[in-house]
């Protein structure tokens, strides 16, 4: 009888758990060196970050946010990058086809902090905002690295021209 009760509560608990992970957020390991020095500053230890799903539910992300997104090249892979420009911004690129890009409607420009060692918008161009899955808010592991991830953009990577409002195209 106790066993049956246990099975029942597990079956009921799974949907609740999944819903929590889908709506609030989850913890994920960061692989690779593309976000150095913000994440994985030391190659020998990997950081674990809390990815907040709640933060992107209305897709109101900001320049400088660290986000996780589905790779536009390979849909089964997730990548973690920093948002450099939003729709309507004009950004200077680092080795993309065009030197200067105006980001099309509904897209954003993402880059890894580790310039030159990152597969980002400089390779595949602007990405659709619909691919964003979550925003990285905290480093949770290892404990000595516990901190909040700041929304910041290096001065040299700011967009050349910032769109006047978020609704640049929807006027």
Partner 1 sequence: MVSIFSRVKDIVKYSMMYACMTHCTFEYIGDFVVCNGPSMEPTLHSKNILLTERITTRFHNPRRGDIIIAISPTDPKQYICKRIVGIPGDRIVLKNNTTDTKTEEDALTAAASKKQKLKELQDEYVPRGCIWIEGDNSENSADSRYYGPIPLGLVKSRVVCRLWPIKEMCML
Looking only at the bridges linking them, the beta strands covering 100-102 and 90-92 are: antiparallel
Q: Closest approach of Cβ 163 to partner 1, in Å? A: 15
**149 C-beta neighbours (distance < 10 Å), count:** 19
**Cα–chain center distance at 4:** 42
State the catalytic residues: 34, 81
Closer to partner 1 at the Cβ: 97 or 156? 97
Q: Closest approach of Cβ 170 to partner 1, in Å? A: 8
Q: With CA atoms as reference, report the closest residue to 24 among 49, 47, 51.
A: 51
Closer to partner 1 at the Cβ: 130 or 142? 130
CA–CA gap between residue 160 and residue 171 (Å, rounded): 22
DSSP class of 26:
E
Q: Which residues lie near partner 1 (CB under 8 A)?
A: 12, 14-16, 18-19, 22-23, 58-59, 69-76, 104-107, 127-132, 169-170
Q: Closest approach of Cβ 65 to partner 1, in Å? A: 14
């Amino acid at each position: 009888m106790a066993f049956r009760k246990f099975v029942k509560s597990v079956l009921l608990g799974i949907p609740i758990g999944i819903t929590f992970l889908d709506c609030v957020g989850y913890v994920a390991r960061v692989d690779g060196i593309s976000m150095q020095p913000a994440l994985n500053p030391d190659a020998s230890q990997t950081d674990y970050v809390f990815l907040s799903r709640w933060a992107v539910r209305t897709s109101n992300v900001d320049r400088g946010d660290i986000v996780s997104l589905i790779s536009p090249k390979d849909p089964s892979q997730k990548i973690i990058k920093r948002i450099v420009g939003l729709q309507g911004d004009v950004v200077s690129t680092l080795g993309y086809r065009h030197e200067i890009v105006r980001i099309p409607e509904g897209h954003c420009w993402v880059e890894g902090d580790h310039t030159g060692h990152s597969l980002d918008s400089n390779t595949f161009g602007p990405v659709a905002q619909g691919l964003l899955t979550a925003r990285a808010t905290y480093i949770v592991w290892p404990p000595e690295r516990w901190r909040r991830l700041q929304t910041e953009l290096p001065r040299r990577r700011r967009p050349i021209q910032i769109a006047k409002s978020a609704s640049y195209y929807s006027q």
